Amino acid sequence: MRLAGKTAIVTGGAKGIGAGCVRRLASDGANVVIADIDDASGNALAVELGAAALSVRTDVSQRYAVEALFEAALAAFGAVDILVNNAAFVHQSGVIANFLDYSEEAWQRTLGVNLSGMFYCSQTAARLMARRGEGGIIINISSGGASRAHRHMFGYDTSKGGIEAATRAMALDLAGLNIRVNTVVPGSIRVDQGSSVGDSPIPPSEVIPLARQGEPEDIAAAVAFLASDDAAYITGSRIFVDGGMDAQLRSPSVDFRQDYSEWSV
């Protein structure tokens, strides 16, 4: 129960990686606020976890919605100690496209959720943490696409690169307030939206050194570590949780021109 007495907000927390983080933070003793546009899944998860969980319908691309989210968290639990910026727009129609065909609508929506949403949530959280004077934790969920491009995912990769740059900039600006800011970089993670890598014709053993697809719980473990005092001297850093994918030179025999809607890396 190393997070007992803490309150965490997890954006995109209703399903997939976000839900894994919510469950892990709750199991470590934190109160958790599930911020998601998926009301049904968020409410169901809150019911599963009991009185220490709250679900708030939130479109993080809208500042007014973010402000309402934090007001609800404060009303329920009195403070916000941890923010996990997990919400992301990636797999929906129109987003997976060659750069020549990439639409302005997809660009605006992707950056609105992935970058503006992170900015609105992080600034709101940091201002609350600064006024309270007890420090805090901000954890951003990135992607391998921040440093190695996917085909046909221009907006997504651009936004994730921005998230990693923002992490470093926030870490420097907020260090004097003891607000630590770090990034977790997932690899190929089995999620419950769209198709999973498990359905791909390329077996994980060919692209992942640890020869298995990751689970949301693998990401949640790193998030819980960064949220704890065990990571008290870590800020401005990124932790890869990818089974070794970033460490290897990918085989040219593997055809990566397949439909990337099946990948969450």
What is the spatial distance between Cα 45 and Cα 105, in angstroms, rounded to a whole number? 31
Q: Which of 107, 115, 105 is nearest to 61 (CA)?
A: 115
At 259, the amino acid letter reads D
Number of H helices, E strands in the chain: 8, 7
Q: What is the dihedral of CA 20, 22, 24, 27, to 10 degrees?
A: -140
Catalytic residue (choose from 102, 156, 233, 260): 156
Q: In what order do the strands lie in the sheet with 179-186?
A: 53-57, 31-36, 7-11, 82-85, 136-141, 179-186, 238-241
Contact yes or no for 187/245 (Cβ under 8 A)? yes
What is the spatial distance between Cα 257 and Cα 240, in angstroms, rounded to a whole number? 24
| 185 membership: H or E segment, kind and range | strand 179-186
> What three-state secondary structure class fits 215?
coil
Contact yes or no for 56/77 (Cβ under 8 A)? no
Q: Which of 48, 2, 10, 51 is nearest to 184 (CA)?
A: 10
CA angle 226, 35, 171 (to 5 degrees): 35
What is the spatial distance between Cα 168 and Cα 171, in angstroms, rounded to a whole number? 5
260 a catalytic residue = no
Q: Catalytic positions, please?
A: 156
